């Protein structure tokens, strides 16, 4: 008999403590759901054997009173996060069949608190995309409407959570790859401060942008997962030593001062219904006694160009290691070293990855480095200074998560510029290194969900999460996809 659908970890813990539920029952139920519902192609692989073994072990720990904080949390991981003795491919043919020899720090920290990892989730190849149409193993469908994209690049992660195939998932966010699909699928997506969570064991796209974060049905679960995975790591020199706070307390006191970016709300590309809903939310926050004011951010048009110049440059460097010699796919059609490099990379990488490698190589080339890459770095500094200036005067920045709702397959894949502009409201957080969260706002008249986004100053996740929870209680924002 199928179990009831769980939308919060608190519900699961309650039933585990009462003895009405076992981790083994829960894992078997999720496995059945994945088998029956994976026509959306969210899961590339179910870790059935290790998940069942973990469930049995955690059940024993619960009975003996020695279980970790995440006992009973069944979570999926994006296919660019390493898990020892399990396959990882970044959804690319060039890594098809590759098995990791070590676990990412985030995986180790989840396992140490008795979370159960149930499988790896489809994504855009090497996390490059905004629709999950770029995977070498087929596109992911939005579970709320299978004609629509789930968003990307963490589309498999958000789709799996929205479809109830796991309680939570880890994604990676380089320019909105957690928040944009969270908006499209009606779930909560959190991008932590750069360096808040170790990137050790994350297959890199753009090293100064990438950040791992949780995808959940509610703020409470996101806060708890972040509390477990965050913190200093000896294996990642960019992981911050700033102490991890009690994120799961979710206690916001006093009144907030919130800025909304005028250019975002007045942007002609923003869906009118989303604009109207955000204006309603602003009015509700003001009515509750919070200060909400418009601020100018005259650099909106520079966000996406600066982001793509810098990330493609980093990608062209990071992806040099996939050459057919060290590991992964090697072309059977090669006959010497040069042909091995050329044919392996030509056959192993998909069109979007090749496009970004070529663009990145171009902006780093001798004749164009100063004109493009160096200038984009200067723009990044200007954007960071302006964002920090706003966050000196305000607690939060409020803006849309996405310009519109999920779109149909093929609608934008033929025009890279249109696809890149899907990130217009999310890349600011990655360029400047600040934390940001997407919260479900409800349904559009077209039947699809959309989100609202909050950003805070660096390492202010405690305040960001607490206010997100408060904002849900004060406004008409829906807490999870179960309400959609």
53-92 pLDDT per residue, tens: 999 999 999 999 999 999 999 999 999 999 999 999 999 9
Residues near 293 by beta carbon (within 8 Å), at least 6 away in sequence:
257, 258, 259, 260, 394
Tokens 């706003």: give the residue.
Answer: 390
Give the whole-angstrom CA distance, residue 483 versus residue 213: 23
CB 126 within 8 A of CB 207: no
CB 298 within 8 A of CB 414: no
- How distant is the alpha carbon of residue 474 from its chain centre? 26
Read off the pLDDT band of 414 (50, 70, 90): confident
The catalytically annotated residue of 22, 33, 78, 316 is: 78
Query: Rounded to the nearest 10 degrees, how much is the dihedral formed by the CA atoms of 320, 326, 331, 334?
Result: 90
| Closest-CA residue to 305 (of 194, 416, 389) | 416
Average of pLDDT values for 470-482? 71
pLDDT digits 0-9 by tens, 173-210: 999 999 999 999 999 999 999 999 999 999 999 999 99
pLDDT higher than 60, residue 215: yes
Q: How far, in Å, are 175, 386, 387, 457 from residue 390 at the CA level?
A: 20, 6, 5, 9
Give the whole-angstrom CA distance, residue 184 versus residue 169: 16
Give the whole-angstrom CA distance, residue 145 versus residue 406: 9
pLDDT digits 0-9 by tens, 225-274: 999 999 999 999 999 999 999 999 999 999 999 999 999 999 999 999 99
Give the whole-angstrom CA distance, residue 80 versus residue 88: 6
Give the whole-angstrom CA distance, residue 64 versus residue 458: 40
The catalytically annotated residue of 154, 157, 177, 316 is: 177
Element (DSSP H or E) covering residue 52: helix 48-64
What does the pLDDT read at residue 484? 44
Give the whole-angstrom CA distance, residue 484 versus residue 478: 8
Exposure b/e, 320-332, CB count within 10 A at least 16 = b? eebbbeeebbbbe
| Closest-CA residue to 9 (of 175, 132, 166, 119) | 166
Q: Is 183 a catalytic residue?
A: no
Give the whole-angstrom CA distance, residue 451 versus residue 169: 18
| Closest-CA residue to 55 (of 33, 68, 71, 44) | 71
Average of pLDDT values for 417-424? 89
Both structure tokens of 441: 């706002």
Read off the pLDDT band of 1 (50, 70, 90): low
Q: Where are the domains of the chain?
A: 1-484
pLDDT digits 0-9 by tens, 2-35: 788 999 999 999 999 999 999 999 999 999 999 9
| Closest-CA residue to 122 (of 70, 163, 68) | 163
What does the pLDDT read at residue 415? 83
What does the pLDDT read at residue 83? 98
Question: In degrees, to the nearest 5, what angle opens at C-alpha 304 toward C-alphas 457 and 270?
Answer: 85
What does the pLDDT read at residue 417? 85
Give the whole-angstrom CA distance, residue 241 versus residue 233: 8
Q: How far, in Å, are 113, 147, 165, 239, 277 from residue 479 at the CA level?
A: 25, 25, 18, 30, 15
117 secondary structure, DSSP code? E
- pTM comes to 0.96
Q: Look over the chain and give the mean of its residue pLDDT values, rounded to a whole number.
A: 95
Give the whole-angstrom CA distance, residue 54 versus residue 114: 8
What does the pLDDT read at residue 479? 54
pLDDT digits 0-9 by tens, 119-138: 999 999 999 999 999 999 99
The catalytically annotated residue of 8, 153, 172, 248 is: 153
What does the pLDDT read at residue 483? 41
Q: Is 413 a catalytic residue?
A: no
Q: Pairing mode, if any, of strands 211-216 and 188-191?
A: antiparallel
Give the whole-angstrom CA distance, residue 200 versus residue 193: 16
Query: From 3.20.20.70, 3.40.50.300, 3.90.1300.10, 3.30.479.10, which CATH number describes the 1-484 domain?
Result: 3.90.1300.10
> For a pLDDT cut of 70, what percent of the chain falls above it?
98
Q: Is 50 a catalytic residue?
A: no
């Amino acid at each position: 008999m199928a179990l009831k659908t769980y939308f919060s970890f608190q519900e699961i813990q309650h039933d585990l403590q009462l003895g009405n539920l076992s981790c083994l029952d829960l894992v078997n139920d999720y496995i059945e759901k994945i088998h029956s519902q994976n026509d959306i192609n969210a899961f590339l692989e179910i870790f059935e054997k290790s998940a069942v073994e973990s469930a049995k072990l955690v059940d024993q720990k619960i009975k003996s009173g020695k279980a970790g904080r995440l006992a009973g949390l069944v979570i999926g991981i994006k296919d660019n996060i390493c898990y020892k003795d399990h396959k990882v491919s970044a959804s690319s043919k060039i890594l098809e069949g590759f098995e990791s020899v070590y676990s990412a720090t985030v995986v180790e920290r989840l396992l140490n608190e008795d979370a159960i990892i149930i499988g790896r989730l489809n994504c855009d190849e090497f996390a490059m995309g905004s629709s999950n149409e770029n995977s070498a193993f087929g596109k992911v469908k939005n579970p709320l409407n299978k004609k629509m994209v789930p968003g990307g690049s963490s589309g498999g992660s958000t789709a799996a959570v929205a479809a109830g195939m796991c309680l939570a998932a880890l994604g990676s966010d380089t320019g909105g790859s957690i928040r944009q699909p969270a908006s499209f699928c009606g779930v909560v997506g959190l991008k932590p401060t750069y360096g808040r969570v170790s990137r050790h064991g994350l297959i890199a796209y753009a090293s100064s942008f990438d950040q791992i974060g949780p995808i959940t049905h509610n703020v409470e679960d996101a806060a708890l997962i972040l509390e477990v995975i965050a913190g200093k790591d000896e294996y990642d020199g960019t992981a911050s030593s700033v102490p991890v706070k009690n994120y799961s307390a979710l206690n916001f006191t006093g009144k907030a001062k919130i800025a909304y970016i005028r250019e975002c709300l007045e942007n002609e590309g923003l869906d009118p219904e989303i604009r109207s809903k955000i204006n309603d939310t602003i009015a509700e926050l003001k009515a509750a006694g919070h200060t909400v004011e418009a601020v100018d951010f005259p650099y909106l048009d520079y966000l996406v160009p600066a982001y793509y110049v810098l990330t493609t440059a980093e990608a062209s460097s990071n992806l040099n290691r996939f050459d057919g010699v060290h590991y992964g796919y090697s072309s059977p059609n090669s006959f010497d070293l040069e042909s091995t490099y050329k044919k392996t990379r030509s056959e192993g990488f998909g069109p979007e990855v090749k496009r970004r490698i070529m663009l990145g190589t171009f902006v780093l080339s001798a004749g164009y480095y100063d004109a493009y890459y160096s200038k984009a770095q200067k723009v990044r500094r200007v954007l960071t200074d302006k964002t920090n200036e706003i966050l000196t005067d305000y607690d939060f920045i409020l803006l849309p998560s996405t310009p519109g709702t999920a779109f149909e397959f093929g609608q934008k894949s033929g025009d890279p510029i249109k696809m890149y502009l899907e990130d217009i409201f999310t890349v600011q957080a990655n360029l400047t290194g600040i934390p940001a969260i997407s919260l479900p706002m409800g349904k559009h008249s077209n039947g699809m969900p959309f989100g609202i986004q909050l950003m805070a100053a660096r390492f202010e996740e405690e305040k960001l999460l607490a206010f997100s929870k408060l904002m849900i209680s004060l406004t008409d924002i829906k807490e999870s996809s179960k309400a959609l």
